[in-house]
Structure 1
Amino acid sequence: MTAPLLLASYLAVTAVPVSLLLRRARWVVYAPRTAIAVWFGLLSSWVGGAILLGCEVTEEAFGSGLWECCLEFFAEPGPSRHEAVPVAVGVVLVFGVPARVITLLLRDVLRRRRRQLRLAEALDVLGRPVKVGGGRVMAIDHECPAAYCVAARGGRIVLTTAALRTLPQSELSAVVAHEKAHLEGRHYLLTTAAASLARALPGVPLFTSAGPAVARLAEMAADDAAARGTRRETVARGLALLVAAQAGRRSAVGTTVLQASADHVAERINRLLDIGQVDGRRSVVAGAGWFVGLAVAPAFVIAGTAVFCC
Protein backbone atom coordinates (compact mmCIF):
# COMPACT_ATOMS: atom_id res chain seq x y z
CA MET A 1 0.00 0.00 0.00
CA THR A 2 2.99 2.32 -0.13
CA ALA A 3 2.29 3.87 -3.51
CA PRO A 4 -1.45 4.58 -2.98
CA LEU A 5 -0.75 6.13 0.43
CA LEU A 6 1.99 8.33 -1.02
CA LEU A 7 -0.26 9.41 -3.87
CA ALA A 8 -3.23 10.12 -1.63
CA SER A 9 -1.03 12.10 0.78
CA TYR A 10 0.45 14.13 -2.06
CA LEU A 11 -2.98 14.94 -3.49
CA ALA A 12 -4.35 15.94 -0.08
CA VAL A 13 -1.38 18.12 0.84
CA THR A 14 -1.29 19.80 -2.57
CA ALA A 15 -5.04 20.37 -2.67
CA VAL A 16 -5.39 22.20 0.66
CA PRO A 17 -2.32 23.45 2.58
CA VAL A 18 -0.10 24.01 -0.47
CA SER A 19 -2.77 26.04 -2.28
CA LEU A 20 -3.30 28.11 0.87
CA LEU A 21 0.44 28.76 1.25
CA LEU A 22 0.79 29.68 -2.42
CA ARG A 23 -2.09 32.18 -2.20
CA ARG A 24 -0.43 33.86 0.78
CA ALA A 25 3.16 33.72 -0.46
CA ARG A 26 4.75 37.15 -0.89
CA TRP A 27 7.19 36.20 -3.64
CA VAL A 28 4.35 35.71 -6.17
CA VAL A 29 3.76 39.47 -6.18
CA TYR A 30 7.28 40.09 -7.45
CA ALA A 31 7.51 37.18 -9.90
CA PRO A 32 3.99 36.80 -11.34
CA ARG A 33 4.99 34.90 -14.48
CA THR A 34 6.90 32.35 -12.41
CA ALA A 35 3.93 32.09 -10.05
CA ILE A 36 1.57 31.36 -12.97
CA ALA A 37 3.89 28.54 -14.05
CA VAL A 38 3.85 27.16 -10.50
CA TRP A 39 0.03 27.19 -10.39
CA PHE A 40 -0.29 25.32 -13.67
CA GLY A 41 2.50 22.94 -12.70
CA LEU A 42 0.66 22.05 -9.50
CA LEU A 43 -2.64 21.62 -11.33
CA SER A 44 -1.08 19.31 -13.91
CA SER A 45 0.77 17.38 -11.23
CA TRP A 46 -2.44 16.93 -9.22
CA VAL A 47 -4.38 15.57 -12.21
CA GLY A 48 -1.51 13.23 -13.07
CA GLY A 49 -1.35 12.04 -9.46
CA ALA A 50 -5.10 11.38 -9.44
CA ILE A 51 -4.81 9.25 -12.58
CA LEU A 52 -1.91 7.29 -11.12
CA LEU A 53 -3.81 6.81 -7.84
CA GLY A 54 -6.73 5.29 -9.72
CA CYS A 55 -4.43 2.77 -11.36
CA GLU A 56 -2.78 1.92 -8.04
CA VAL A 57 -6.07 1.41 -6.19
CA THR A 58 -7.17 -1.36 -8.54
CA GLU A 59 -3.66 -2.80 -8.68
CA GLU A 60 -3.55 -3.11 -4.89
CA ALA A 61 -7.09 -4.49 -4.65
CA PHE A 62 -6.97 -7.08 -7.43
CA GLY A 63 -3.35 -7.49 -8.46
CA SER A 64 -4.05 -6.47 -12.06
CA GLY A 65 -4.43 -3.32 -14.09
CA LEU A 66 -7.54 -1.16 -14.21
CA TRP A 67 -8.58 -2.24 -17.70
CA GLU A 68 -8.40 -5.94 -16.79
CA CYS A 69 -10.29 -5.28 -13.56
CA CYS A 70 -13.08 -3.52 -15.44
CA LEU A 71 -13.42 -6.40 -17.90
CA GLU A 72 -13.54 -8.97 -15.10
CA PHE A 73 -15.94 -6.86 -13.07
CA PHE A 74 -18.52 -6.59 -15.85
CA ALA A 75 -18.00 -10.13 -17.11
CA GLU A 76 -18.72 -11.83 -13.78
CA PRO A 77 -22.39 -11.88 -12.73
CA GLY A 78 -23.35 -10.26 -9.45
CA PRO A 79 -20.06 -8.71 -8.28
CA SER A 80 -19.89 -7.90 -4.61
CA ARG A 81 -19.90 -4.37 -3.21
CA HIS A 82 -16.38 -4.93 -1.90
CA GLU A 83 -15.17 -5.46 -5.47
CA ALA A 84 -17.21 -2.62 -6.91
CA VAL A 85 -15.74 0.14 -4.73
CA PRO A 86 -12.08 0.03 -5.85
CA VAL A 87 -13.09 -0.41 -9.49
CA ALA A 88 -15.41 2.60 -9.28
CA VAL A 89 -12.72 4.70 -7.60
CA GLY A 90 -10.21 3.72 -10.26
CA VAL A 91 -12.57 4.47 -13.15
CA VAL A 92 -13.48 7.90 -11.74
CA LEU A 93 -9.87 8.91 -11.13
CA VAL A 94 -8.37 7.51 -14.34
CA PHE A 95 -11.15 8.34 -16.79
CA GLY A 96 -13.64 10.68 -15.12
CA VAL A 97 -11.29 13.38 -13.83
CA PRO A 98 -9.26 13.94 -17.04
CA ALA A 99 -12.39 13.63 -19.21
CA ARG A 100 -14.19 16.33 -17.23
CA VAL A 101 -11.12 18.60 -17.20
CA ILE A 102 -10.50 18.28 -20.95
CA THR A 103 -14.19 18.62 -21.89
CA LEU A 104 -14.77 21.78 -19.86
CA LEU A 105 -11.47 23.29 -20.93
CA LEU A 106 -12.12 22.82 -24.64
CA ARG A 107 -15.74 23.94 -24.35
CA ASP A 108 -14.89 27.13 -22.47
CA VAL A 109 -11.98 28.04 -24.74
CA LEU A 110 -14.05 27.54 -27.89
CA ARG A 111 -17.08 29.34 -26.45
CA ARG A 112 -15.11 32.39 -25.39
CA ARG A 113 -13.22 32.35 -28.65
CA ARG A 114 -16.50 32.58 -30.57
CA ARG A 115 -17.66 35.44 -28.35
CA GLN A 116 -14.45 37.34 -28.90
CA LEU A 117 -14.69 36.83 -32.65
CA ARG A 118 -18.16 38.37 -32.60
CA LEU A 119 -16.88 41.24 -30.47
CA ALA A 120 -13.95 41.82 -32.82
CA GLU A 121 -16.33 41.94 -35.79
CA ALA A 122 -18.49 44.50 -33.98
CA LEU A 123 -15.44 46.60 -33.13
CA ASP A 124 -14.36 46.63 -36.77
CA VAL A 125 -17.73 48.17 -37.61
CA LEU A 126 -18.24 50.51 -34.65
CA GLY A 127 -14.66 51.51 -33.82
CA ARG A 128 -12.19 53.75 -35.54
CA PRO A 129 -8.39 53.46 -35.53
CA VAL A 130 -6.43 56.06 -33.57
CA LYS A 131 -2.73 56.46 -32.90
CA VAL A 132 -1.52 56.25 -29.31
CA GLY A 133 2.15 56.17 -28.31
CA GLY A 134 3.39 55.17 -31.73
CA GLY A 135 0.85 52.34 -32.10
CA ARG A 136 -2.69 52.06 -33.37
CA VAL A 137 -5.71 51.13 -31.29
CA MET A 138 -9.46 51.04 -31.79
CA ALA A 139 -11.53 53.85 -30.29
CA ILE A 140 -15.24 53.48 -29.54
CA ASP A 141 -17.71 56.06 -28.29
CA HIS A 142 -18.62 55.45 -24.67
CA GLU A 143 -19.12 57.55 -21.55
CA CYS A 144 -17.17 55.14 -19.30
CA PRO A 145 -13.36 55.40 -19.43
CA ALA A 146 -12.08 51.92 -20.24
CA ALA A 147 -9.19 50.15 -21.90
CA TYR A 148 -9.30 46.50 -22.83
CA CYS A 149 -8.10 43.95 -25.35
CA VAL A 150 -9.90 41.40 -27.48
CA ALA A 151 -7.81 38.35 -28.36
CA ALA A 152 -9.32 37.58 -31.77
CA ARG A 153 -8.48 38.26 -35.43
CA GLY A 154 -4.94 39.30 -34.65
CA GLY A 155 -5.92 41.04 -31.40
CA ARG A 156 -7.57 44.38 -30.73
CA ILE A 157 -6.68 47.01 -28.14
CA VAL A 158 -9.71 49.18 -27.48
CA LEU A 159 -10.01 52.57 -25.79
CA THR A 160 -13.23 54.42 -25.14
CA THR A 161 -13.47 58.09 -26.07
CA ALA A 162 -13.86 58.87 -22.37
CA ALA A 163 -10.50 57.20 -21.68
CA LEU A 164 -8.87 59.19 -24.47
CA ARG A 165 -10.15 62.39 -22.89
CA THR A 166 -9.33 61.41 -19.29
CA LEU A 167 -5.78 60.08 -19.46
CA PRO A 168 -2.68 62.15 -20.26
CA GLN A 169 -0.56 60.93 -23.16
CA SER A 170 2.12 59.19 -21.08
CA GLU A 171 -0.41 57.35 -18.92
CA LEU A 172 -2.44 56.48 -22.01
CA SER A 173 0.62 54.90 -23.61
CA ALA A 174 1.26 52.90 -20.43
CA VAL A 175 -2.31 51.58 -20.41
CA VAL A 176 -2.02 50.56 -24.06
CA ALA A 177 1.27 48.78 -23.29
CA HIS A 178 -0.49 46.93 -20.47
CA GLU A 179 -3.18 45.66 -22.84
CA LYS A 180 -0.59 44.77 -25.47
CA ALA A 181 1.18 42.65 -22.86
CA HIS A 182 -2.07 40.74 -22.28
CA LEU A 183 -2.23 39.89 -25.98
CA GLU A 184 1.43 38.95 -26.34
CA GLY A 185 1.40 36.86 -23.15
CA ARG A 186 -1.72 34.91 -24.23
CA HIS A 187 -3.26 35.81 -20.88
CA TYR A 188 -6.70 35.17 -22.34
CA LEU A 189 -5.88 31.48 -22.67
CA LEU A 190 -4.28 31.28 -19.23
CA THR A 191 -7.20 32.88 -17.39
CA THR A 192 -9.75 30.85 -19.34
CA ALA A 193 -7.90 27.60 -18.60
CA ALA A 194 -7.61 28.37 -14.89
CA ALA A 195 -11.30 29.27 -14.63
CA SER A 196 -12.28 26.10 -16.51
CA LEU A 197 -10.17 23.93 -14.22
CA ALA A 198 -11.83 25.55 -11.20
CA ARG A 199 -15.23 24.64 -12.63
CA ALA A 200 -14.10 21.12 -13.50
CA LEU A 201 -13.17 20.23 -9.90
CA PRO A 202 -15.07 22.69 -7.68
CA GLY A 203 -14.53 20.65 -4.53
CA VAL A 204 -10.72 20.81 -4.68
CA PRO A 205 -9.33 24.02 -3.08
CA LEU A 206 -6.24 23.96 -5.32
CA PHE A 207 -8.44 24.27 -8.40
CA THR A 208 -10.94 26.77 -6.99
CA SER A 209 -8.06 29.01 -5.89
CA ALA A 210 -6.27 28.84 -9.24
CA GLY A 211 -8.83 30.84 -11.25
CA PRO A 212 -8.72 34.09 -9.22
CA ALA A 213 -4.99 33.69 -8.55
CA VAL A 214 -4.02 33.38 -12.22
CA ALA A 215 -6.26 36.32 -13.20
CA ARG A 216 -4.61 38.46 -10.51
CA LEU A 217 -1.10 37.40 -11.52
CA ALA A 218 -1.82 38.02 -15.22
CA GLU A 219 -2.67 41.65 -14.41
CA MET A 220 0.57 42.01 -12.46
CA ALA A 221 2.58 40.47 -15.29
CA ALA A 222 1.01 42.95 -17.73
CA ASP A 223 1.84 45.80 -15.33
CA ASP A 224 5.48 44.70 -15.33
CA ALA A 225 5.58 44.52 -19.12
CA ALA A 226 4.12 48.01 -19.41
CA ALA A 227 6.60 49.35 -16.86
CA ARG A 228 9.55 48.11 -18.88
CA GLY A 229 8.79 50.74 -21.52
CA THR A 230 8.20 53.60 -19.08
CA ARG A 231 8.38 54.45 -15.37
CA ARG A 232 6.49 52.28 -12.90
CA GLU A 233 4.98 55.43 -11.42
CA THR A 234 3.45 56.26 -14.80
CA VAL A 235 1.77 52.86 -15.03
CA ALA A 236 0.46 53.19 -11.47
CA ARG A 237 -0.84 56.69 -12.15
CA GLY A 238 -2.57 55.59 -15.36
CA LEU A 239 -4.22 52.67 -13.58
CA ALA A 240 -5.36 54.90 -10.71
CA LEU A 241 -6.78 57.57 -13.02
CA LEU A 242 -8.62 55.00 -15.12
CA VAL A 243 -10.19 53.19 -12.19
CA ALA A 244 -11.09 56.45 -10.42
CA ALA A 245 -12.82 57.71 -13.55
CA GLN A 246 -14.78 54.47 -13.84
CA ALA A 247 -16.30 54.85 -10.37
CA GLY A 248 -20.08 55.07 -10.55
CA ARG A 249 -20.22 54.60 -14.33
CA ARG A 250 -21.65 51.74 -16.35
CA SER A 251 -18.96 49.44 -17.65
CA ALA A 252 -18.17 49.51 -21.35
CA VAL A 253 -17.08 45.88 -21.52
CA GLY A 254 -18.36 42.43 -20.71
CA THR A 255 -16.78 39.28 -19.37
CA THR A 256 -15.16 38.14 -22.62
CA VAL A 257 -12.29 40.63 -22.56
CA LEU A 258 -9.27 41.45 -20.42
CA GLN A 259 -9.35 44.96 -19.06
CA ALA A 260 -7.74 47.26 -16.56
CA SER A 261 -10.26 47.15 -13.71
CA ALA A 262 -10.68 47.83 -10.02
CA ASP A 263 -9.83 44.24 -9.09
CA HIS A 264 -6.89 44.34 -6.66
CA VAL A 265 -6.20 47.89 -7.86
CA ALA A 266 -4.79 49.10 -4.53
CA GLU A 267 -2.48 46.10 -4.32
CA ARG A 268 -1.31 46.58 -7.90
CA ILE A 269 -0.62 50.29 -7.42
CA ASN A 270 1.29 49.70 -4.20
CA ARG A 271 3.21 46.92 -5.88
CA LEU A 272 4.22 49.14 -8.79
CA LEU A 273 5.45 51.82 -6.40
CA ASP A 274 7.26 49.48 -4.01
CA ILE A 275 8.64 46.77 -6.26
CA GLY A 276 11.95 48.55 -6.77
CA GLN A 277 12.81 47.77 -3.17
CA VAL A 278 12.62 44.00 -3.72
CA ASP A 279 15.15 41.78 -5.44
CA GLY A 280 13.10 40.21 -8.22
CA ARG A 281 15.72 37.54 -8.84
CA ARG A 282 15.24 36.14 -5.35
CA SER A 283 11.51 35.89 -6.03
CA VAL A 284 12.12 34.02 -9.28
CA VAL A 285 14.44 31.60 -7.49
CA ALA A 286 11.81 31.09 -4.79
CA GLY A 287 9.19 30.38 -7.45
CA ALA A 288 11.48 27.92 -9.22
CA GLY A 289 12.02 26.15 -5.92
CA TRP A 290 8.27 25.87 -5.43
CA PHE A 291 7.85 24.50 -8.95
CA VAL A 292 10.53 21.84 -8.58
CA GLY A 293 9.75 20.99 -4.97
CA LEU A 294 5.97 20.74 -5.20
CA ALA A 295 5.09 20.04 -8.82
CA VAL A 296 7.95 18.12 -10.42
CA ALA A 297 9.93 16.22 -7.79
CA PRO A 298 6.98 14.62 -5.92
CA ALA A 299 5.44 13.43 -9.17
CA PHE A 300 8.66 11.67 -10.20
CA VAL A 301 9.19 10.18 -6.74
CA ILE A 302 5.63 8.86 -6.51
CA ALA A 303 5.65 7.54 -10.06
CA GLY A 304 8.96 5.79 -9.44
CA THR A 305 7.66 4.27 -6.22
CA ALA A 306 4.52 3.05 -7.96
CA VAL A 307 6.40 1.47 -10.84
CA PHE A 308 9.39 -0.10 -9.14
CA CYS A 309 8.40 -0.77 -5.54
CA CYS A 310 4.83 -1.98 -5.68
Structure 2
Amino acid sequence: MWLIAAAASAVTAVLLAWPVPEALCAANWTKRSPRAAIVLWQLVGLVGGLSAISTLLLLGIAPLGRDWTALNAIALVLALLLFSWLVGVLATSAVRIERDLRRQRAVVDLLGRAEADGVRVLDHPEPLAYCLPGPHPRIVITDGALAALPPDELAAVLAHERAHAAGRHELVIQPFVAWQSALPFLPPARRATAAVAELVEMLADDAAARATSRRTVARALARVGAGRPPGMSDAMSGSMAEAVGGTEQTSVIARVRRLT
Protein backbone atom coordinates (compact mmCIF):
# COMPACT_ATOMS: atom_id res chain seq x y z
CA MET A 1 0.00 0.00 0.00
CA TRP A 2 2.80 2.40 0.91
CA LEU A 3 4.59 1.66 -2.36
CA ILE A 4 1.40 2.13 -4.38
CA ALA A 5 0.81 5.53 -2.74
CA ALA A 6 4.44 6.53 -3.35
CA ALA A 7 4.20 5.44 -6.99
CA ALA A 8 0.98 7.42 -7.49
CA SER A 9 2.56 10.47 -5.89
CA ALA A 10 5.65 10.11 -8.10
CA VAL A 11 3.53 9.85 -11.25
CA THR A 12 1.60 12.96 -10.22
CA ALA A 13 4.84 14.86 -9.64
CA VAL A 14 6.20 13.88 -13.05
CA LEU A 15 2.98 14.78 -14.86
CA LEU A 16 2.80 18.18 -13.15
CA ALA A 17 6.49 18.87 -13.80
CA TRP A 18 6.38 18.37 -17.58
CA PRO A 19 3.32 17.24 -19.61
CA VAL A 20 0.72 19.33 -17.79
CA PRO A 21 2.71 22.63 -17.97
CA GLU A 22 3.40 21.96 -21.65
CA ALA A 23 -0.31 21.41 -22.30
CA LEU A 24 -1.23 24.57 -20.38
CA CYS A 25 1.28 26.62 -22.35
CA ALA A 26 -0.28 25.40 -25.60
CA ALA A 27 -3.91 25.88 -24.50
CA ASN A 28 -5.97 28.67 -26.05
CA TRP A 29 -8.67 28.86 -23.38
CA THR A 30 -6.22 30.43 -20.92
CA LYS A 31 -6.31 33.71 -22.87
CA ARG A 32 -10.08 33.85 -22.49
CA SER A 33 -9.97 33.19 -18.74
CA PRO A 34 -6.61 34.45 -17.45
CA ARG A 35 -7.67 34.48 -13.80
CA ALA A 36 -8.78 30.86 -13.85
CA ALA A 37 -5.63 29.91 -15.76
CA ILE A 38 -3.41 31.57 -13.15
CA VAL A 39 -5.19 29.68 -10.35
CA LEU A 40 -4.65 26.44 -12.27
CA TRP A 41 -0.96 27.26 -12.76
CA GLN A 42 -0.64 27.89 -9.02
CA LEU A 43 -2.27 24.55 -8.25
CA VAL A 44 0.07 22.81 -10.69
CA GLY A 45 3.11 24.28 -8.96
CA LEU A 46 1.86 23.66 -5.42
CA VAL A 47 0.58 20.11 -5.96
CA GLY A 48 3.62 19.20 -8.04
CA GLY A 49 6.02 20.25 -5.29
CA LEU A 50 3.99 18.54 -2.58
CA SER A 51 3.78 15.36 -4.66
CA ALA A 52 7.55 15.20 -5.09
CA ILE A 53 8.09 15.66 -1.35
CA SER A 54 5.30 13.21 -0.51
CA THR A 55 6.89 10.53 -2.67
CA LEU A 56 10.09 10.66 -0.64
CA LEU A 57 8.19 10.86 2.66
CA LEU A 58 6.10 7.79 1.80
CA LEU A 59 9.21 5.86 0.89
CA GLY A 60 10.83 7.01 4.13
CA ILE A 61 8.07 5.93 6.50
CA ALA A 62 7.11 2.64 4.81
CA PRO A 63 7.23 0.53 6.85
CA LEU A 64 8.28 2.52 9.91
CA GLY A 65 8.93 -0.38 12.28
CA ARG A 66 11.29 -3.26 12.88
CA ASP A 67 11.97 -3.57 9.14
CA TRP A 68 13.03 0.08 8.87
CA THR A 69 16.28 0.31 6.87
CA ALA A 70 18.89 2.80 5.76
CA LEU A 71 16.85 3.27 2.58
CA ASN A 72 14.05 4.77 4.67
CA ALA A 73 16.50 7.16 6.32
CA ILE A 74 17.90 8.24 2.94
CA ALA A 75 14.39 8.90 1.60
CA LEU A 76 13.48 11.00 4.66
CA VAL A 77 16.72 13.00 4.38
CA LEU A 78 16.08 13.60 0.68
CA ALA A 79 12.53 14.75 1.47
CA LEU A 80 13.86 17.20 4.04
CA LEU A 81 16.53 18.45 1.64
CA LEU A 82 14.00 18.93 -1.19
CA PHE A 83 11.59 20.78 1.07
CA SER A 84 14.38 23.00 2.42
CA TRP A 85 15.66 23.67 -1.10
CA LEU A 86 12.28 24.71 -2.47
CA VAL A 87 11.40 26.89 0.53
CA GLY A 88 14.88 28.40 0.58
CA VAL A 89 14.80 29.32 -3.10
CA LEU A 90 11.33 30.83 -2.69
CA ALA A 91 12.41 32.94 0.30
CA THR A 92 15.68 34.04 -1.30
CA SER A 93 13.92 35.03 -4.52
CA ALA A 94 11.28 37.02 -2.63
CA VAL A 95 13.89 38.89 -0.59
CA ARG A 96 16.02 39.68 -3.65
CA ILE A 97 13.12 40.96 -5.74
CA GLU A 98 11.74 43.12 -2.92
CA ARG A 99 15.22 44.56 -2.24
CA ASP A 100 15.68 45.44 -5.91
CA LEU A 101 12.20 46.97 -6.11
CA ARG A 102 12.84 49.06 -3.02
CA ARG A 103 16.05 50.38 -4.54
CA GLN A 104 14.33 51.10 -7.85
CA ARG A 105 11.50 52.95 -6.12
CA ALA A 106 14.07 55.12 -4.35
CA VAL A 107 15.76 55.93 -7.68
CA VAL A 108 12.44 56.82 -9.31
CA ASP A 109 11.52 59.06 -6.37
CA LEU A 110 14.84 60.83 -6.79
CA LEU A 111 14.79 61.26 -10.57
CA GLY A 112 11.08 61.53 -11.35
CA ARG A 113 8.63 64.30 -10.64
CA ALA A 114 5.65 63.37 -8.53
CA GLU A 115 2.12 63.49 -9.87
CA ALA A 116 -1.15 62.49 -8.23
CA ASP A 117 -1.90 58.96 -6.97
CA GLY A 118 1.68 57.73 -6.76
CA VAL A 119 2.56 58.47 -10.39
CA ARG A 120 6.16 59.44 -11.15
CA VAL A 121 7.11 61.04 -14.48
CA LEU A 122 10.59 60.45 -15.87
CA ASP A 123 12.28 62.77 -18.35
CA HIS A 124 12.76 60.29 -21.19
CA PRO A 125 11.73 60.57 -24.85
CA GLU A 126 10.72 56.92 -25.32
CA PRO A 127 7.07 56.15 -24.52
CA LEU A 128 7.27 53.84 -21.49
CA ALA A 129 4.97 53.00 -18.63
CA TYR A 130 5.44 50.42 -15.89
CA CYS A 131 4.68 49.65 -12.27
CA LEU A 132 7.08 49.30 -9.36
CA PRO A 133 4.88 47.18 -7.09
CA GLY A 134 5.00 46.76 -3.35
CA PRO A 135 3.27 48.06 -0.23
CA HIS A 136 3.83 51.60 -1.56
CA PRO A 137 3.80 51.15 -5.35
CA ARG A 138 4.94 53.63 -7.96
CA ILE A 139 3.37 54.06 -11.36
CA VAL A 140 6.14 55.26 -13.67
CA ILE A 141 5.51 56.98 -16.99
CA THR A 142 7.82 58.94 -19.25
CA ASP A 143 7.43 62.32 -20.90
CA GLY A 144 7.57 60.44 -24.19
CA ALA A 145 4.43 58.52 -23.23
CA LEU A 146 2.64 61.68 -22.14
CA ALA A 147 3.44 63.25 -25.51
CA ALA A 148 2.49 60.18 -27.54
CA LEU A 149 -0.76 59.18 -25.85
CA PRO A 150 -4.09 60.97 -26.22
CA PRO A 151 -6.08 61.36 -22.99
CA ASP A 152 -8.17 58.18 -23.36
CA GLU A 153 -5.12 56.01 -24.08
CA LEU A 154 -3.20 57.61 -21.21
CA ALA A 155 -6.10 56.74 -18.90
CA ALA A 156 -5.97 53.15 -20.19
CA VAL A 157 -2.23 52.88 -19.54
CA LEU A 158 -2.57 54.24 -16.01
CA ALA A 159 -5.51 51.92 -15.30
CA HIS A 160 -3.41 48.98 -16.52
CA GLU A 161 -0.51 49.82 -14.23
CA ARG A 162 -2.78 50.52 -11.26
CA ALA A 163 -4.30 47.08 -11.76
CA HIS A 164 -0.80 45.61 -11.39
CA ALA A 165 -0.25 47.61 -8.21
CA ALA A 166 -3.64 46.84 -6.66
CA GLY A 167 -3.46 43.16 -7.53
CA ARG A 168 0.12 42.76 -6.26
CA HIS A 169 0.83 40.85 -9.44
CA GLU A 170 4.51 40.52 -8.63
CA LEU A 171 3.48 38.10 -5.87
CA VAL A 172 1.71 35.98 -8.49
CA ILE A 173 4.79 35.73 -10.72
CA GLN A 174 7.43 35.43 -8.01
CA PRO A 175 6.77 31.76 -7.02
CA PHE A 176 7.17 30.74 -10.65
CA VAL A 177 10.46 32.61 -10.82
CA ALA A 178 11.52 30.62 -7.76
CA TRP A 179 10.33 27.39 -9.41
CA GLN A 180 12.44 28.23 -12.46
CA SER A 181 15.47 28.99 -10.27
CA ALA A 182 15.04 25.79 -8.27
CA LEU A 183 14.61 23.59 -11.35
CA PRO A 184 16.59 25.29 -14.15
CA PHE A 185 16.99 21.96 -15.98
CA LEU A 186 13.23 21.76 -16.61
CA PRO A 187 12.24 23.79 -19.72
CA PRO A 188 8.55 23.83 -18.65
CA ALA A 189 9.53 25.79 -15.53
CA ARG A 190 10.87 28.60 -17.71
CA ARG A 191 7.87 28.52 -20.01
CA ALA A 192 5.52 28.50 -17.03
CA THR A 193 7.03 31.75 -15.74
CA ALA A 194 6.60 33.43 -19.12
CA ALA A 195 3.04 32.09 -19.47
CA VAL A 196 1.97 33.35 -16.04
CA ALA A 197 3.61 36.73 -16.68
CA GLU A 198 1.60 37.06 -19.90
CA LEU A 199 -1.62 36.05 -18.13
CA VAL A 200 -0.98 38.70 -15.47
CA GLU A 201 -0.64 41.28 -18.23
CA MET A 202 -3.97 40.12 -19.66
CA LEU A 203 -5.59 40.57 -16.26
CA ALA A 204 -4.35 44.16 -16.20
CA ASP A 205 -5.49 44.65 -19.81
CA ASP A 206 -8.99 43.54 -18.82
CA ALA A 207 -9.03 45.93 -15.85
CA ALA A 208 -7.97 48.80 -18.12
CA ALA A 209 -10.60 47.79 -20.69
CA ARG A 210 -13.33 47.98 -18.05
CA ALA A 211 -12.14 51.50 -17.18
CA THR A 212 -11.93 52.63 -20.82
CA SER A 213 -12.54 50.23 -23.73
CA ARG A 214 -10.84 47.23 -25.30
CA ARG A 215 -9.88 49.12 -28.45
CA THR A 216 -8.48 52.01 -26.44
CA VAL A 217 -6.28 49.62 -24.47
CA ALA A 218 -5.17 47.91 -27.68
CA ARG A 219 -4.15 51.24 -29.24
CA ALA A 220 -2.29 52.29 -26.09
CA LEU A 221 -0.57 48.91 -25.90
CA ALA A 222 0.57 49.24 -29.50
CA ARG A 223 2.17 52.60 -28.63
CA VAL A 224 3.89 51.79 -25.34
CA GLY A 225 3.68 48.03 -24.85
CA ALA A 226 6.80 47.14 -26.83
CA GLY A 227 9.08 49.47 -24.89
CA ARG A 228 8.98 47.41 -21.72
CA PRO A 229 6.56 44.81 -20.42
CA PRO A 230 4.00 46.85 -18.45
CA GLY A 231 4.21 46.06 -14.76
CA MET A 232 7.68 44.54 -15.11
CA SER A 233 10.52 46.92 -14.26
CA ASP A 234 14.26 46.77 -14.55
CA ALA A 235 14.28 46.05 -10.82
CA MET A 236 12.93 42.58 -11.51
CA SER A 237 16.18 41.37 -12.97
CA GLY A 238 17.60 37.90 -13.40
CA SER A 239 15.18 35.04 -13.94
CA MET A 240 12.07 37.21 -14.05
CA ALA A 241 13.50 39.53 -16.71
CA GLU A 242 14.75 36.57 -18.75
CA ALA A 243 11.40 34.84 -18.55
CA VAL A 244 9.46 37.81 -19.91
CA GLY A 245 11.96 39.69 -22.02
CA GLY A 246 12.58 37.01 -24.60
CA THR A 247 8.92 36.85 -25.70
CA GLU A 248 8.00 40.48 -25.06
CA GLN A 249 7.19 41.51 -28.65
CA THR A 250 5.26 38.29 -29.33
CA SER A 251 3.29 38.81 -26.12
CA VAL A 252 2.34 42.37 -27.07
CA ILE A 253 1.07 41.24 -30.47
CA ALA A 254 -0.95 38.43 -28.90
CA ARG A 255 -2.47 40.79 -26.34
CA VAL A 256 -3.44 43.35 -28.99
CA ARG A 257 -5.11 40.62 -31.06
CA ARG A 258 -6.93 39.38 -27.96
CA LEU A 259 -8.29 42.86 -27.22
CA THR A 260 -9.41 43.53 -30.79
Q: Same fold (TM over 0.5)?
A: yes
Question: Which is bigger in relative contact order (C-alpha 8 A, separation at least 6)?
Answer: 1
| Cα offsets for 1:248-282 (capped at 9, x unmatched) | xxxxx524289996350110000011xxxxxxxxx
- The residue aligned with 1:64 is 64
- The residue aligned with 1:112 is 97
Structure 1 position 153, deviation (Å): 5.2
For the residue of structure 1 that corresponds to 2:157, the secondary structure is helix
Moved over 6 A (4+): 257-260
Q: Which amino acid aligns with 1:225?
A: A
Q: Distance in 1 between matches of 2:188 and 2:76?
A: 21
Select the structure of larger CA radius of gyration.
Answer: 1
- Out of 218, 226, 245, the residue aligned to residue 236 of structure 1 is 218
- The residue aligned with 1:139 is 121
Structure 2 unmatched ranges of 5 or more: none
Q: Distance in 1 between matches of 2:236 and 2:57?
A: 39
Aligned length: 246
Q: Which amino acid aligns with 1:99?
A: S
1:266 equivalenced with 2:248 (yes/no) = no
- The residue aligned with 2:84 is 99
Q: Distance in 1 between matches of 2:85 and 2:165?
A: 28
| Cα offsets for 1:154-201 (capped at 9, x unmatched) | 111010111111111110110111100111111111212211111112
1:214 equivalenced with 2:234 (yes/no) = no
Q: Distance in 2 between matches of 1:181 and 1:115?
A: 21
1:130 equivalenced with 2:115 (yes/no) = yes
Structure 1 position 100, deviation (Å): 1.2
Q: Distance in 1 between matches of 2:76 and 2:186?
A: 18
Structure 1 position 211, deviation (Å): 1.1
- The residue aligned with 2:48 is 46
Structure 1 position 114, deviation (Å): 1.4
Q: Distance in 2 between matches of 1:165 and 1:33?
A: 33
Structure 1 position 205, deviation (Å): 4.8
TM-score (norm 1): 0.72
| Cα offsets for 1:44-77 (capped at 9, x unmatched) | 11111112111221334xx218xx95xx74xxxx
Q: Distance in 1 between matches of 2:104 and 2:15?
A: 42
- Out of 18, 27, 33, the residue aligned to residue 16 of structure 1 is 18
Q: Distance in 2 between matches of 1:255 and 1:113?
A: 9
Contact 1:4/1:53, CA 8 A, preserved across alignment: yes
Contact 1:14/1:206, CA 8 A, preserved across alignment: no
Structure 1 unmatched ranges of 5 or more: 74-82, 248-252, 274-310
1:29 equivalenced with 2:3 (yes/no) = no
Structure 1 position 130, deviation (Å): 3.1
More off after superposition, 20-29 vs 94-103: 94-103
Contact 1:53/1:90, CA 8 A, preserved across alignment: no
TM-score (norm 2): 0.85
- Out of 152, 170, 173, the residue aligned to residue 188 of structure 1 is 170
